[in-house]
Each structure stands twice: as structure tokens, then as C-alpha cells.
């Protein structure tokens, strides 16, 4: 057998572990003789780890003179762990004794000796062997990290060729022994092979993860490598992939105690930077093939590392909630990342509250960071964690409130949006309403914002405020009366749905006063919003339509109309008979408001939505049919008749047919008033003379609300 424990295999590179050398090391440990090297000292049987100390004593300068030409080993400094700065190992070449220096030969021999010792030393001897190896390397007068890099590169080259079992385990224990004393150097040496991913490097990361004496140190070094560079820098991406390999090993997450919140925030912030495509001046502007294709592959790796971190700590429900809510997809989106952070914070509040205090403490200094992704991610997490009452109590309420109010003065709409969400969570967590005079002006002012997120957040915060005991229903009714009706017809679907829902919550909280004939401002707000609610049952936005149905049910219950069945029938089947009964009841209960109802409905005749134009036309027809001739002015009837005449030429046949029927009802009501000074109406009346006003008959609507059968795992046919 060529070579021995004290020599080198003929085909093995310097600093590497060959299968031949490992086999000889095992034989030596078993007491079998091994041939001595021609250049090294006399070999002795390998029985225990302290034998390495005897070997170190023989490494004297005198022996150096007996060797061949001296060649300096390659160096790769550990000051920078970036894969771009660490030199890759050169191609393997057959061994030639004259090309290597005495130091390189000693290093190779000692590496092989260490592997053989580790085979039998067990965990008790691992630390001693690592110290021995470190002492030997330092004795050469070389930089220790350079030698560690050489050993790690040798392991990367030889581990794939080692047989499964004891030889491979021995090689992996050499890596653990090095990492026990020199974790930073080992991490810096392994990172270049993690981008693009390498199977051998992945196996070495997993072996480090399984060693409970080493994995904590390695994870800390990877965390610092991740934080040391920003966004899609090669160093950060390589560290993220290494973290994914290590955290996927069962039991490794336990080593993150003490810096778990820090690691979680670093991974989430990395996703934000990847989503935005942040580059430093030195980073490449174009993704090269060496970077494993498009950035989303790196985002997927970061998400998997984040899932492994949560799952390994008992947060499987957090992962499940994020999957069901689409949180992971939002986290990697450029425009939805902060929504994903809010979902993650909510899931952790519900299912992983044991880390919330640590997260909250780590977030506070990040809120003033000059790095925008760091600051916005911290703000989103801070906002989400306010849903946890124990966590929010870590700061005084007035301090949190002042911080959220400060965000409202920020020129960035995203910051103002997060502040409004925080105010909503703060209101939800309080047993009684406090600081109403501070909260209300901020929330009401936000209703006029142009950003839909800000308006939606303000509406949500007002709704949470109403749900608290002692909510100022009368004050809110007065304040919302001029502000809420325009939002019911807002062009943004989410705003319409939220505004209608807020009205329903307001009616539910004030229903006792409405039944007693009180709540003057709220009653006026309901009557002012009644026509929009009826027409929004046919809204193209399903959320807005369902919210309108829910709010109308609350109004029916509070005002005791007795029309719940009819309203549900109109909502789901667009039944003309049910709508006729609704109009009849409203005309009877509120005769003085009929003119206002007709004027409001007339505005929807020009809606760009076909279902709304038809619904408005039918509603006018039934209101006119049930109205008293003295309750509607001739001017209004003339205006309605002109608009309906134009609508009879509508390109949608269902709209034009309904307009024809409704125009007849308007003409009949005008005839009943006997007002001869409207030539256009008189001309129409002479052509259509009816002895009495017949009940209007409308064809079935072609516009029916789509069901949400998919929510019950019953997908709709396509």
C-alpha cells in the first residue's frame, strides 16, 4: 500500500484526505504495521490522541533542510467571507514530491493523522485533536486561517469520493474539529462553494449542523455573513443557502437560542432586499448564470430557510397559516412584501408568542435605521406585534401612540399606512377607549387620502374602535355622515367594501338607540346610504356586494323593516317581485324621502357597470310605481324621463329593455299629476294612454352574483 499515516498517498492533493490514507489510519489504530515514510520520522502505532503531540515535537526546522525545494502554500484570507474574494481551489494534479514544501507535507500528514485519530477518539478526544491541529499549524509560522482554508478545500474535493460509513464520518469530524476552534475560518472557506450550490458543500454544512457543540458557532458566523452584505450580494446569498441547509436538519434550530429573533429578522429583511433588487455599487447589475438564474430562486431559498427556522422551533402552525393566507407569496413580492410581514407577525402573535418579546426588543433600534428595507420591515413587524397586548405593554401606551402619530407626518405613504394599521391594532387591544381625541382626527383625516391602502387602514381602525366597549357611536355618526357616503361609491373596490362594512358596524352598535327613535345623526346616515346599499347588491366587486347585503341586514334589524327575506332574495336572485316589496315598504315608511331616493338613483343611470345601470333603472321603476303623485315633483319626473329616453339606446339589451318599462311608469305618474306644461310628457301620454298604472314587468336579469363555491372546495365550472 503506497504511503502511510506519516506519508502521503501518491494521488492525493496537499491538505486533502484520501481514502487510502484513511484506511491506513484505521489499520494503524487497530495495531497493524504501517510502512514508514521516506522523508518523515519513524512511525509508531496510533493508539490514542496524545500521540499527535509526539509528532509535533519532531516537526523541527532541522527536518526542513532534508526536504526538497520549498513552495509557499496558497493563501485565502478570512477577513472577507465573500465568495468573490476567496480563491477557488485549482484543478487536482498527480502528486509530485519535489513540488511541495516541508510545511505542505507536514500539513497533509497531520490532516491524515487527525482523521485517523478522530476515527477512534470519540467526542471526548475531538477537542483535544482540534487543539493539536491548531498548534501544529501555528507552529509553521503561517496564517492559521490560510491553512484552515486549505484543509476545507481538500475536504470539499475528497468527501464525494469517500465511501459511506466510517471513512466519511471521520472526514466530517475533521471539519467539526476545525470549526470548534476556528468557526469563522471554516465558514469563510465553505461559503464560496454554496453559490452556486454544491452537493459536497451542502453535506459539510449539514454535518456541522448535526454537531451540537459546533452548530451554534457556525450559525452565528453565517448570521454575521448575512448581515455583512446587503440584498443580492453573493456573500449574503451564499450565507442564506448555507443557513437553509443547516436549519433543515432536525434539532439545529435549538442552537439559535439567544439570537433567534435576530436571525428571523435578518431572513425577512433579506427577502425585502431581494424583492426590491437592491444592489451595492460593486454588485453585478445583471444576473449571471453562475448566480443560479433569476433572483426568485434565491428568494425561494430564503423562504425555505425561514420555514425551517419556524418549524424547528415548534412554529408549524405559523407556516401553515402563512401558506393558507398566501403569506409566502406576498413576502417575495416587490409590492406585497410588507403585507407578507404583517401576516407573519399576525401568525406569530397567534401561534408563536414565546418569541414576541425578543422580536419587539430587536425591532426598536431598527425603526430609526437609514436603510429603507431594514426600516420598513421593522415598522411592519412592529405594527403587527401591536396585536399582542402583552407585547404592546413593553412600551408605554403614550410612547407607542406618539410614535404612530409621528409616522402620519412622513411623506412616504407606506409609512403612513403602517401607522394607521398600528393605530387600529392599538385600539383593538385596549379594554376601554382611550385617547379618542388623539385617534379620531388622525383616522378621519386619512379618509381623504388618495392611496387606497391608507383609506382602507383608516376604515379598519375606525371599525375596531367601534367594536370596543364604550365606543363613541354618536360622535362617529356625526363625523362620518359627510365623509362616509362618498366612499360607498368610491372607484376602488376595497374602499367600497370597507366603507359599507363600517356603516354596518356603526348601525349594529347603535341599533338600540335606533329602535327607540334616537340616534338622529345615525338615522340620517342610514337613509342617506339606503339607495347605494340597495344598488351595491349588484356591484361587480363580490366583496362590496356581500358587504352591502350584510349591512342591509343590520339596518333591517335595527329599524325593524321586516324585509330581510326580500333583501336576501334581491341580493342572490335579483327578483323584481322582492324588490317591489322593498320599495313599497320604504315608500310607506319614509314618504318624505322618496324624492331623495329617486334623485340618488338617477345618478347611477350613467354608471360604467352594466349591472348597476339596469339595477338603477328597475329601482326607479318600482319607486315611481309605489310613489304618490303628490310626492314627486314634475321637474324630477321630466329629468328622469329624459335620462331614461337616452338609456333606451343603451348597447346592453337588458338595460335598454328595463329603461323602456321604467319610462312608461314615469309617464303614467306624470299623467296622474295632470300637469299640462310639459310638452314632451304630454306627447308621450297621448301615445300611451292607460286607464290605470299597471305593475311594471321586467325580464329576468342576466347579471347574477357569482357564488364563492371554491371556498368550500367546490370549484366553479369554467
pLDDT tens per residue, range 71-128: 333 333 344 454 444 334 334 433 333 333 445 455 555 555 555 554 454 444 545 5
User: What does the pLDDT look like over 327-348, one tens digit per residue?
Assistant: 999 999 889 999 999 999 999 9
For residue 227, give the nearest of 214, 241, 240, 245 by alpha carbon: 240
- Per-residue pLDDT at 674: 64
Q: Which residue has the cell 334581491?
A: 570
* DSSP-assigned letter for residue 198: -
CA dist., res. 150 & res. 156, Å (int) = 10
Is a pLDDT exceeding 80 seen at residue 183?
yes
User: What does the pLDDT look like over 212-223, one tens digit per residue?
Assistant: 888 899 999 999
CA dist., res. 280 & res. 253, Å (int) = 31
- Per-residue pLDDT at 683: 54
Is a pLDDT exceeding 90 seen at residue 711?
no
User: What does the pLDDT look like over 37-54, one tens digit per residue?
Assistant: 333 333 333 333 343 343
Task: List the alpha helices (DSSP H) in 603-652.
Answer: 610-626, 634-647
Cell, residue 500: 359599507
CA dist., res. 344 & res. 347, Å (int) = 5
Q: Which range, of 127-136, 403-412, 626-635, averages the lowest pLDDT?
A: 127-136
Cell, residue 426: 392599538
CA dist., res. 332 & res. 309, Å (int) = 17
- Per-residue pLDDT at 201: 87
- Per-residue pLDDT at 126: 46
- Per-residue pLDDT at 679: 55
Higher pLDDT, 11 or 544: 544
Q: Work out the pLDDT band at 279, boundaries 50, 70, 90.
A: very low
- Per-residue pLDDT at 134: 54
CA dist., res. 420 & res. 413, Å (int) = 11
Percent of the chain with pLDDT over 70: 70
Mean pLDDT, residues 528-538: 95
CA dist., res. 225 & res. 81, Å (int) = 7
Is a pLDDT exceeding 90 seen at residue 378?
yes
- Per-residue pLDDT at 310: 92
Q: Work out the pLDDT band at 253, boundaries 50, 70, 90.
A: confident
Instruction: Name, of 151-165, 169-183, 217-231, 383-397, the range with top average pLDDT.
Output: 383-397
- Per-residue pLDDT at 23: 38
Q: Work out the pLDDT band at 251, boundaries 50, 70, 90.
A: confident
Mean pLDDT, residues 555-569: 93
By the 8 A CB rule, do 582 and 534 touch? yes
Torsion of CA 197, 203, 204, 207, to 10 degrees: 140
Task: List the alpha helices (DSSP H) in 429-574.
Answer: 436-446, 452-467, 473-480, 484-488, 493-509, 511-515, 520-535, 542-559, 564-573
Higher pLDDT, 167 or 98: 167
Mean pLDDT, residues 557-570: 93
- The 10 Å CB-count burial string (b at 16+, else e) for 237-262 is bbbbbbbbbbbbbeebbebbeebbbb
For residue 204, give the nearest of 173, 183, 180 by alpha carbon: 173
Mean pLDDT, residues 422-437: 71
Q: Work out the pLDDT band at 518, boundaries 50, 70, 90.
A: low
- Per-residue pLDDT at 234: 80
By the 8 A CB rule, do 654 and 699 touch? yes
Q: Which residue has the cell 450565507?
A: 239
- Per-residue pLDDT at 195: 77
CA count, 13 A, side-chain hemisphere, 62: 3
CA dist., res. 632 & res. 602, Å (int) = 14
- CA-based Rg of the chain, rounded to a whole angstrom? 38
Please give the mean pLDDT across all residues of the chain: 76
Mean pLDDT, residues 614-638: 93
Is a pLDDT exceeding 80 seen at residue 319?
yes
Q: Which range, of 12-16, 22-26, 149-153, 387-391, averages the lowest pLDDT?
A: 12-16
Q: Which range, of 173-177, 254-258, 706-710, averages the lowest pLDDT?
A: 706-710
Amino acid at each position: 500500500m503506497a504511503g502511510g499515516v506519516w506519508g502521503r498517498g501518491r494521488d492525493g492533493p496537499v491538505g486533502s484526505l484520501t481514502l487510502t490514507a484513511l484506511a491506513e489510519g484505521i489499520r494503524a489504530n487497530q495495531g497493524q504495521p504501517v510502512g514508514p515514510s521516506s522523508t518523515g520520522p519513524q512511525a509508531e502505532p496510533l493508539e490514542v490522541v496524545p500521540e499527535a503531540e509526539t509528532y509535533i515535537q519532531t516537526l523541527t526546522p532541522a527536518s526542513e533542510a532534508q526536504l526538497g525545494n520549498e513552495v509557499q502554500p496558497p493563501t485565502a484570507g478570512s477577513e472577507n467571507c465573500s465568495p468573490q474574494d476567496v480563491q477557488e481551489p485549482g484543478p487536482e494534479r498527480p502528486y509530485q514530491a519535489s513540488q511541495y514544501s516541508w510545511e505542505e507535507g507536514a500539513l497533509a500528514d497531520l490532516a491524515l493523522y487527525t482523521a485517523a485519530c478522530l476515527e477512534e477518539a470519540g467526542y471526548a478526544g475531538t477537542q483535544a485533536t482540534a487543539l493539536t491541529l491548531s498548534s501544529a499549524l501555528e507552529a509553521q509560522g503561517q496564517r492559521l486561517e490560510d491553512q484552515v482554508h486549505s484543509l476545507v478545500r481538500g475536504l470539499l474535493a475528497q468527501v464525494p469520493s469517500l465511501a459511506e460509513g466510517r471513512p466519511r464520518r471521520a472526514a466530517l469530524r475533521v471539519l467539526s474539529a476545525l470549526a470548534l476552534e476556528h468557526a469563522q475560518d471554516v465558514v469563510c472557506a465553505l461559503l464560496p462553494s454554496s453559490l452556486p450550490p454544491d452537493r459536497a458543500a451542502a453535506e459539510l454544512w449539514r454535518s456541522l449542523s448535526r454537531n451540537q457543540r459546533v452548530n451554534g458557532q457556525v450559525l452565528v458566523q453565517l448570521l454575521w455573513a448575512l448581515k455583512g452584505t446587503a440584498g443580492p450580494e453573493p456573500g449574503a446569498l451564499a450565507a442564506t443557502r448555507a443557513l437553509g441547509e443547516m436549519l433543515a436538519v432536525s434539532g439545529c434550530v435549538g442552537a439559535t437560542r439567544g439570537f433567534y429573533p435576530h436571525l428571523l429578522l435578518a431572513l425577512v429583511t433579506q427577502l425585502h432586499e431581494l424583492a426590491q433588487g437592491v444592489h451595492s455599487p460593486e454588485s453585478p447589475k445583471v444576473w449571471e448564470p453562475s448566480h443560479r438564474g433569476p433572483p426568485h430562486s434565491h428568494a425561494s431559498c430564503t423562504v425555505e430557510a425561514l420555514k425551517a427556522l419556524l418549524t424547528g422551533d415548534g412554529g408549524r402552525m405559523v407556516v401553515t397559516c402563512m401558506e393558507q393566507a398566501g403569506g409566502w407569496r406576498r413576502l417575495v413580492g416587490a409590492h406585497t412584501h410588507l403585507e407578507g410581514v404583517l401576516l407573519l407577525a399576525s401568525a406569530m402573535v397567534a401561534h408563536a408568542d414565546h418569541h414576541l418579546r425578543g422580536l419587539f426588543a430587536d425591532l426598536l433600534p431598527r425603526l430609526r435605521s437609514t436603510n429603507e428595507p431594514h426600516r420598513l420591515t421593522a415598522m411592519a413587524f412592529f405594527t403587527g406585534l401591536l396585536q399582542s397586548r402583552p407585547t404592546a405593554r413593553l412600551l408605554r401606551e403614550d410612547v407607542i401612540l406618539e410614535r404612530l402619530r409621528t409616522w402620519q407626518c412622513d411623506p412616504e405613504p407606506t409609512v403612513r399606512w403602517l401607522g394607521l394599521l398600528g393605530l387600529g391594532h392599538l385600539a383593538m387591544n385596549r379594554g376601554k377607549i382611550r385617547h379618542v381625541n388623539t385617534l379620531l382626527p388622525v383616522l378621519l383625516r386619512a379618509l381623504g387620502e388618495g392611496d387606497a391602502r391608507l383609506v382602507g387602514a383608516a376604515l379598519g381602525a375606525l371599525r375596531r374602535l367601534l367594536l370596543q366597549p364604550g365606543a363613541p357611536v354618536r360622535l362617529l355618526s356625526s363625523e362620518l355622515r359627510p365623509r362616509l357616503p362618498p366612499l360607498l361609491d368610491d372607484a376602488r373596490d376595497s374602499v367600497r367594501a370597507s366603507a359599507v362594512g363600517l356603516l354596518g358596524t356603526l348601525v349594529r352598535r347603535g341599533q338600540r338607540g335606533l329602535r327607540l327613535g334616537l340616534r338622529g345623526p345615525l338615522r340620517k346616515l342610514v337613509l342617506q346610504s339606503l339607495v347605494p346599499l340597495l344598488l351595491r347588491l349588484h356591484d361587480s366587486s363580490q366583496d362590496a356586494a356581500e358587504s352591502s347585503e350584510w349591512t342591509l341586514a343590520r339596518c333591517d334589524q335595527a329599524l325593524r323593516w321586516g324585509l330581510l327575506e326580500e333583501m336576501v332574495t334581491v341580493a342572490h336572485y335579483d327578483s323584481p317581485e322582492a324588490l317591489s316589496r322593498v320599495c313599497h315598504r320604504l315608500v310607506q315608511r319614509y314618504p318624505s324621502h322618496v324624492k331623495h331616493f329617486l334623485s340618488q338613483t338617477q345618478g347611477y343611470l350613467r354608471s360604467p357597470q352594466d349591472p348597476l345601470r339596469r339595477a338603477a333603472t328597475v329601482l326607479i321603476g318600482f319607486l315611481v310605481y309605489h310613489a304618490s303623485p303628490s310626492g314627486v315633483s314634475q321637474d324630477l319626473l321630466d329629468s328622469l324621463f329624459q335620462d331614461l329616453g337616452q338609456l333606451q339606446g343603451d348597447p346592453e339589451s337588458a338595460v335598454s329593455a328595463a329603461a323602456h318599462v321604467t319610462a312608461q311608469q314615469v309617464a303614467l305618474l306624470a299623467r296622474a299629476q295632470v300637469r299640462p306644461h310639459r310638452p314632451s310628457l304630454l306627447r308621450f301620454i297621448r301615445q300611451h294612454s292607460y286607464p290605470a298604472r299597471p305593475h311594471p314587468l321586467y325580464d329576468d336579469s342576466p347579471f347574477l352574483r357569482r357564488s364563492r363555491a371554491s371556498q368550500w372546495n367546490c370549484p366553479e365550472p369554467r
